Amino acid sequence: MADVNEITQHLPGFNCGACGYKRCDLFAEALLNKEVKLEDCPFLLRERFKENYEILKEILEVSGISKKEEKYVGVIDGYEAEFLLKPLPNECSCRETLLIMDKKELKVGDYIKYRPLGCPIPHFAKIIDEYHGLYTIHVMGPCHRITKEEIEYKDVGIAIVVAFEGIVEGKVPEVGKTVKFIPKHCMMQKVHSGVVVQVEGKRVYIEGIDLKVF
C-alpha cells in the first residue's frame, strides 16, 4: 500500500504551491485521500517529469486510489468541457473582461447591466478595473436585485466578452491551447471556448471567447 513518503519522493519537490498545497508531502497526502489528481501538479505534465508521472500513476493504480477523472458537461447544449473555471480566492465570480460599446462615462466601482453578445440572459456586474477601454468585472447575477438593497446601475446594452480569468478545476491547459470550459458562475452552465494566453499554477487567463462550440 502506498504511503505519503513513497509518493512524495517521486513528486517534483519544489514545494511551490501551484497545486494548491504549500508542500509536496501535503499534495501526496491529498492524493492518498483521493482529493486531487496527479494532473493537479502542473510540473508532472512537463516532459522533464514524464517518468515521475508514469511511476506515480502506476503506484496509485496498484493501490486502487486513483481519483476518477471528472467530466464537465454543459447543461444547455450537452457538450463536454475540458475543465470548470472557478473564481479566484475570495472573489464572487470568475473575472470577465468586456468590450463595452456604450461606455456611459463608466468608472471602477460602477454597477452595470449588460447582455453578453450571443447570450440571451442579461447580466448584472460590478466594474473592478479598466485598462485601455476594456473593463474587468465581477458578475453579480442575472437578476434585477443584485443584493437585498436596491443598487443603481447603468444599462450599457450588448457587450463583448473578450476574456475570462479564474482557477481551473481539472487538468491545467498549456499556453496557446484552444480550450472548452464552463465558467462556474454561468447561469446556463454553457460551454465556452477560447485561447489560453497565460497560466500561473492553476490560474489561467483565456482570450478570444466564443459561445459557438461544436
Site of grid cell 468590450: 99
pLDDT band at residue 142 under the 50/70/90 scheme? low
How many other β-carbons are positioned within 10 Å of the β-carbon of residue 92?
12
Q: What is the pLDDT of residues 147-184, one digit of tens each?
A: 555 678 999 999 999 999 999 988 899 999 999 999 99
Beta strands in the chain (DSSP E): 72-73, 80-81, 83-86, 95-100, 111-116, 123-131, 134-141, 154-170, 178-183, 192-200, 203-210
pLDDT of residue 102: 83
pLDDT of residue 112: 94
Instruction: Quote the distance between the C-alpha of residue 71 and its chain's center.
Output: 15
Q: Which domains does the chain have, with CATH numbers?
A: 4-63 (1.10.15.40), 72-210 (no CATH)
Radius of gyration of the chain (CA): 20
Q: What is the pLDDT of residues 197-207, one digit of tens each?
A: 999 988 999 99
- For residues 61 and 24, which has the higher predicted lDDT (pLDDT)? 24
Whole-prediction pTM = 0.68
Site of grid cell 478545476: 169
Give CA–CA dist 70/91, Å, rounded.
24
Cβ(16)–Cβ(74) under 8 Å? no
Q: What is the pLDDT of residues 96-121, one digit of tens each?
A: 999 998 877 899 999 999 999 999 98
Q: What is the pLDDT of residues 24-42, one digit of tens each?
A: 999 999 898 888 888 889 8
Instruction: Quote the distance between the C-alpha of residue 150 and its chain's center.
Output: 30
Give CA–CA dist 96/127, Å, rounded.
10
Average pLDDT value over all residues in the chain:
89
The single-letter DSSP state of residue 201 is: T
pLDDT band at residue 20 under the 50/70/90 scheme? confident
pLDDT of residue 40: 86
Q: Give the SS3 label for residue 123.
A: strand
